[in-house]
Structure 1
């Protein structure tokens, strides 16, 4: 009985899914047509390969991958301007995720950095667009391919534009002065200048900031600035004064950054400059700034849609549906101290014996579990030793759900019996077998035998005396 109690006390069982998720991958090819943005005036056709695993274990990421390629190498996305190396093309593939536990969209993103670009030059594509979402519960999802977006992000840059380049418009009050004296230090040794109040110049640029490069001079004066029709920040600057308000002490100092503005949204803007008085004003150059952009400009976005309605892909989370892992409990003959479940030999429910329990699954676990304990020692117990004891066994069942361990309580009925090991007398050789146990029933048997032997001896003496007596009477 003691041996059986120890065996059950050390017994615990762990049940995992009977089927593990297999690396089954679905791959479908689709045609997409792209318009707007960097697609230009002619739609761009793409060949898209969508790949993802259709069987996953819980907590494995669902990774959706898009392979992109031009269907026609002559029909590509186009650079919206002249850019130095560092522009980036970003592709974002969107799939709908439909299921009982979660519904929404999963974005897969990939990017490719470009080299120097000419205006209207072909843009490359990211080779692989990937995105994943964690799985937290078993179930089934339907993955539905949706739109694909192509974005273009210009690189951070700055460019100096000379005063006589195209895109700069002067009214009739300005004069062009070339071959300026070298010690003036003008950019490329030329300027436009005026002495007429309200003389106007306009410059259209694309970027997020602009610098106005002029000359400092004792002959200069105030200049007013407007960006896209609104007063600039700051609204004015004076070429005859230092930034601290002190008057300048030079007649001409070219390539001087007189005024700057930053923080514009990326795109095309117009800078308008007015001479604020009838003093001299100079246009030496403009510096166009593109700051590092956090988000791609929306005007460059191309929208790509499937040519045909795609078929949804079924994804099973949890290694499959309909699996019913089973477990049997075998009493252990030596306690396993490493087992995490706790066992109490207390009979909490006397008379409630259920050799084949069917514990209910937790709400988060889909697969059902049935445990059939079968403690069946092979040795037959003596009738006098038969007793019924109940043991509560707590089993850890790993289902692969968001709650990775679910607790099941099984009530077992056990019939104690003789230990199934050979007995070695105490003091014998260490064979690894169990030592002989001292039993009160053995002592009782020894005492009973001694008593019977003493009674037999006394009975024999009595019989001898009777025979002797009988013999004397006869003589």
Structure 2
């Protein structure tokens, strides 16, 4: 019964619902990092910023910002990367007026597939950031710049000497004169994409610009090969001979592809250039360069793009209302006790129950109960529940008087419980005994009378 009974609770008076703000804002993005994803600037975005306008102190200003490319311009990959790159976007919203703040909605999207140089980068579907409203007043909400960062993953990415499908927009390995491509090689030769380039011209060269922290030169081992010189960023870093194994012994292999012939790691993250040159008239091969990235070495803003508003200044004024007061809502109550105030006990004072907004401390009624309706209401989905606040009495301003109270009994009877109370005196059942005796005698007398009447009746019949 108590579970199904309705309760009379204090409910906050909600303001009339207002239409949410919906701002369409256009941006143009340009590169601000050393190797920006806005290489082909400007990159144009169309964004939509929405938020509720019926705001109350203690609530949240929840900004939701959707983003999309406005035209054919795109952010593009600054290099070759394994799967797992992340696009991070952070907006900036200036709050002015009754209180000052900058909200920074953020969002991110992870790119599962590997990336090649200049490949289009996707945007997060949206960004958001709730801000707590701590006092009433009129505030001005004004969107500002958007910052876009690209975070590459740890890993390796092969840059093959194939066609535009392998390396779009012409960002392939650059070959000098004297190289011959060989495609559709048997898979048993283990070449990346089943192709490679070959030369027997001395001083024939090939190079690649890349962004990363390391690089590997990949090609076949073959007994017909000769020495190859390797440069990095304009300086000679070493040489390798594909006709010899790792310990310098000649090999008897033919087109045994897929070997890492040379590598270098630990470069500062950024753009580098590797160049190989055939140092003799013997054969040299190039299957691919493998770019290595250590994400811990990547500065946060290295690939940054900054977007600025081009659709004109945009702002909106919103009124944040004070927390509304309580309005009682009476509903029938069946078998449910009403909320009560349970005072806490103190050893030196006797508390009394004081209604909110009043105080009986020495007749002073200036005390104000600052608790709001939220302090007395608990909302449970599907049910109405109330909490019972506990009033904490305030100690009197004068000295504390100690009252000594004597025990009700001076001595506990033998065998009794030392409770401080006298045992209940045992009452004798005299009245009960007397009543039973009367009832018994009455029954006996009635039986005698009945027997005499029967005997008399029988005599008369005779």
Q: Please, what TM-score do these two structures have when normalized by structure 2?
A: 0.53
Query: Aligned pair in 2 of structure 1 residues 339, 268: CA closer, same or farther (>3 Å)?
Result: same
* Matched residue, 2:64: 65
Q: What are the equivalent positions in structure 2 for 1:248-397 lying under 5 Å apart?
A: 248-255=250-257, 256-262=259-265, 268-275=271-278, 278=280, 280=282, 282-289=284-291, 291=293, 298-299=302-303, 301=305, 303-305=307-309, 307-314=311-318, 316=320, 320-321=321-322, 339=342, 341-342=344-345, 346=349, 353-354=362-363, 356-359=365-368
* Matched residue, 2:399: none
Task: State the distance in 1 between where 2:195 and 2:39 align.
Answer: 41
Query: Aligned pair in 2 of structure 1 residues 343, 32: CA closer, same or farther (>3 Å)?
Result: farther
Kept in 2: contact 1:106–1:132 (CA 8 A): no
Q: What are the equivalent positions in structure 2 for 1:16-35 lying under 5 Å apart?
A: 26-35=20-29
Q: Deviations over 1:29-61 (max 9, x none)?
A: 133231325484556252523324652563x55
* Matched residue, 1:192: 198
* Matched residue, 1:77: 74
Q: Deviations over 1:253-287 (max 9, x none)?
A: 43222123456677653211245x65846223113
Which of 198, 202, 207 is the aligned partner of 1:202?
207
Query: Secondary structure, in 3 states, of the residue corresponding to 1:36?
Result: strand
Query: Aligned pair in 2 of structure 1 residues 115, 162: CA closer, same or farther (>3 Å)?
Result: closer
Query: Aligned pair in 2 of structure 1 residues 136, 94: CA closer, same or farther (>3 Å)?
Result: closer
Query: Aligned pair in 2 of structure 1 residues 183, 158: CA closer, same or farther (>3 Å)?
Result: closer
Kept in 2: contact 1:145–1:312 (CA 8 A): no
Q: Deviations over 1:392-444 (max 9, x none)?
A: xxxx96799xxxx99875689xxxxxxxxxxxxxxxxxxxxxxxxxxxxxxxx
Instruction: Kindly indicate whether residue 220 of structure 2 is the aligned counterpart of residue 215 of structure 1.
Output: yes
Q: How much does 1:145 deviate?
A: 1.8
Kept in 2: contact 1:222–1:236 (CA 8 A): yes
Provide structure 1 residue ranges, at least 5 long, that are not aligned to the other structure.
Answer: 1-14, 328-333, 370-395, 413-475
* Matched residue, 2:145: 147
Q: How much does 1:132 deviate?
A: 2.7
Q: Deviations over 1:64-111 (max 9, x none)?
A: 1113356x6x55536468999987655432213457887344223254
* Matched residue, 2:418: none
Query: Secondary structure, in 3 states, of the residue corresponding to 2:74?
Result: coil
Task: State the distance in 2 between where 1:406 and 1:151 align.
Answer: 52
Task: State the distance in 1 between where 2:197 and 2:219 align.
Answer: 8
Task: State the distance in 2 between where 1:118 and 1:249 align.
Answer: 34
Task: State the distance in 2 between where 1:114 and 1:77 align.
Answer: 18
Query: Aligned pair in 2 of structure 1 residues 170, 326: CA closer, same or farther (>3 Å)?
Result: closer
Q: Deviations over 1:342-361 (max 9, x none)?
A: 4567379xx96225232486
Provide structure 2 residue ranges, at least 5 long, that are not aligned to the other structure.
Answer: 1-8, 32-37, 165-169, 329-336, 352-359, 379-388, 397-462
Task: State the distance in 2 between where 1:181 and 1:157 align.
Answer: 24
Kept in 2: contact 1:357–1:411 (CA 8 A): no
Q: How many residues matched?
A: 343
Kept in 1: contact 2:221–2:251 (CA 8 A): no
Task: State the distance in 1 between where 2:268 and 2:64 align.
Answer: 33
Query: Aligned pair in 2 of structure 1 residues 311, 151: CA closer, same or farther (>3 Å)?
Result: same
Task: State the distance in 2 between where 1:264 and 1:23 align.
Answer: 58
